[in-house]
Amino acid sequence: MQVVERRVQVRVPLEPSRRDWPTLLGELTRQLDDGRIYDRDLPGLSRALQPVLEAYRRRACRTGAPDVR
């Protein structure tokens, strides 16, 4: 019997930081525009984006940041 030991690296995605969001949202925009996100996925995306927009609007109202519609 032979015991073989080998290291395996598993990539774990990092949690996005505040600086990552503009790039990530830009990539989402590109994928929506070029059809890489299927129509069947749009309702789920809408449900996920709604709380994000609501949170942004609450914060923007307090800070004077531009509103989005």
Whether 31 and 37 have beta carbons less than 8 Å apart is answered as yes
How does pLDDT run along the chain (69 residues), one tens digit per residue?
A: 888 898 989 888 889 999 999 999 999 999 999 999 999 999 999 999 999 999 999 999 999 999 887
pTM for the model: 0.72
Task: Return the pLDDT at 65.
Answer: 92
Determine the Cα angle at 15 with ends 20 and 12, to 5°. Answer: 120
Task: Return the pLDDT at 1.
Answer: 86
3-state SS track over the chain: CCCCCCCCCCCCCCCCCCCCHHHHHHHHHHHHHCCCCCHHHHHHHHHHHHHHHHHHHHHHHHHCCCCCC
